[in-house]
A and B are shown apart, each in its own frame.
Chain A
Amino acid sequence: MPKITYIESNGKEHVVDAPVGQTVMEAAVKHAVPGIDADCGGACACATCHVYVDPEWLSKTGEQNSMEQSMLDFANDVEDNSRLSCQIKVSAELDGLVVRLPKSQH
């Protein structure tokens, strides 16, 4: 199973086994990684699963879709590598993915 590393804003790392086909958000929530709220459960309705994708993984995680882009427009501390983790599907290719979490989702 692909492994994903989530790094909290205080530097604490969480390495999680993420089933292929689920999303990067789901894997975090199911393992209670603090810093990803995902109140809407992945319906792209709440913008509380914001992550920064480690630059070297950007080509593999793909681009923001247009709905996601609009949502991120209103999130805090958005960077070029910002994504909503509910919109990134886990694949074998993402084994080793590193994402960083913002200070706050609200």
Chain B
Amino acid sequence: MQRIWAIIERDLRKFQHSPFLMFASLILPLTQLVILGYAFGGNVKNLKVGVVDQDHGMAAVKLREMIGAVEANASTFQTVDYSDLNRAVIDLRNAKLSAVVNIPPHFTRDVLAQANPQVGLIVDNTDNFVASTLEGAFGNLVSDYYKNGVDARMQPRLALQTVEVYGYTPYIKFLLPGAIALAIFITAMIGGGIIFIDDKARGLHEGYLVTPITKIELILGFNLAGAFKGVLAGLVLTVFGSLIAGIQNPLDPLRLAKMIILIVPTSVAFISMMFLMMVRISDPLVPRAIFGVLNTLLYFPSGAIYPVNAFPAWMRVITTIDPFTYAVHGFSTLLLKNTGFGAIAGDIVFLSVFSVIMMASAAALFQRTL
């Protein structure tokens, strides 16, 4: 045991003398949290929409007034009048407009005759976000076209009532669990990957291999030291990230305690995975080269930035075996829903079993001699 603690102590003393390492581990996740959170979390506004009124009748005027009301209030779009549909489409193709609303000739006649009147919405679908937003806005507008005044209390037709169980969750909050997992992963990558291989390449490991330390003690020492640093990174990002993302009661001791109970197996899982990957590597360029690839391969399929249900089948295979997935799910459950352990028990079990498999494999591959 003493030798394991010696390895842990060595790593932590080095870490204590180089606090920049912790800072470096946190920069990317915090930056991503803020930039992505605010870049993706807002509502699209001030889109240029061309309006071509080929009718000019009463129904067209009413429609144009409704469009104007949405423009004035929600500011989702700004209308630009066109007299020629072809001109408007040309401008759409040239990216001067995001969409074109075409009120066809005889629109008023069709409305009055209830003869399936239609309004055209021509969208630039190279930008799915914008196209979806405009389709939604104009879809709602068209649905409300026939409303007169306030709705009756008792509706004759089927209506959907949406109830949000939790408060409004902006995208930055949705990102927070992934940012915490990412901070732990980067700490594992730097400490368990890059620094481990750098020490190996400089011959530092020889100094330890000539001592009576056993293979298992070395592996446990390296992994536990790395896991401790990961726990620190996870905690720091939990607190600061919660403050940035606007989580209520970010310093709630009970929630922090639950987070630590999940951060620990997450940290062990990541460091043991990194250790297994690096156990036979000697070239210091390898961990640097694969850092970006690993980050992409593990972080994005985990559901950290987009729901996993939207992924194709082959990506869901990665999702299923990716420890990030379970970490993100667990953190999300604790932070955004403030649940008990029942909801994250499966995540803890997976991360723990994953860690055992990784460490056992690393132990089998680790070479006690040069």
The finding on whether chains A and B are genuine partners in a shared complex, rather than unrelated, reads: no
Q: Which residues of A are at the interface with B, using a C-beta cutoff of 8 A? A: none
